[in-house]
Amino acid sequence: MPATAISKGAPAFELFDLKGERYRLQEGLARGPLLIAFFKVACPTCQYAFPFVERIHRQFVDPGAQVWGISQDDVESSRGFAERYGVTFPILIDEPPYAASRAYGVRFTPTLFLVDSNGHISLSSDGFSKSDLIEIQKRLAQHYSQTVPPLFRADEKVPEYKPG
């Protein structure tokens, strides 16, 4: 479990995306819950997990849910990762000394945090956890009063967990 505790206030941060646009946690939360996904480009578990995180993004983009990826790599590598794995949500760059990653206590990648609109972390997860992704989907569906299809298709062989 990441160092930042559930129900604790999410640490504020300000980062820039791949185009140089600024993102601030407080501004994002003003629009509703936020799923933050920390990752490294070369991480095989991140490469496996992010297409599923993208599915969550696509299921809830219309009502306004937000997913922000936070890369611990440079802009060029992160852009390549997004293109290769079909990521369309914003990718922010956490440059050395990785202030945002440190503030959230990230020790493994991927690490996900679901932050409610009040700024409290309601769920955290590291590695690839099928049950955690299903829970994130469920909470967003409840928040937006939406019915969505299952996150994982019946024809997919998806492990329950892959460590980061």
Per residue in 5-20, pLDDT tens? 555 799 999 999 999 9
Q: How high does pLDDT run on average in the chain? A: 94
How many whole angstroms separate alpha carbon 1 and alpha carbon 46? 17
Q: Which residue has the higher pLDDT, 52 or 7?
A: 52
Quote the pLDDT of residue 6.
59
Q: Is residue 126 part of a domain?
A: yes
Count: domains in the chain = 1
Quote the pLDDT of residue 4.
56
CA distances to 45, 106, 127, 136, 158 from 163, in Å: 7, 14, 4, 18, 14
Q: Is residue 99 part of a domain?
A: yes
CATH of the domain at 130: 3.40.30.10
Q: Which residue has the higher pLDDT, 48 or 64?
A: 48
Q: Is residue 2 part of a domain?
A: no
Q: Is residue 127 part of a domain?
A: yes
Question: Of all residues in the chain, what percent carry a pLDDT higher than 70?
Answer: 96
Q: Is residue 141 part of a domain?
A: yes
Quote the pLDDT of residue 8.
73
- Do residues 92 and 75 lie in contact, with contact meaning Cβ atoms separated by under 8 Å? no
Mean pLDDT check: name the lowest of 3-7, 109-113, 152-156: 3-7
Confidence of residue 2 (pLDDT cuts 50, 70, 90): very low
Quote the pLDDT of residue 64.
86
Q: What is the pTM of this model?
A: 0.94
Average pLDDT estimate for 65-74: 97
Q: Is residue 63 part of a domain?
A: yes
Residue 152: strand pairing partners = none
Q: Is residue 120 part of a domain?
A: yes
Q: Is residue 93 part of a domain?
A: yes
Please provide the DSSP assignment of 102-143 as one string. Answer: HHTT--SSSEEEEE-TTSBEEEEEESEEHHHHHHHHHHHHHH
Quote the pLDDT of residue 16.
98
Average pLDDT estimate for 66-83: 98
Provide the domain limits for residue 109: 20-145
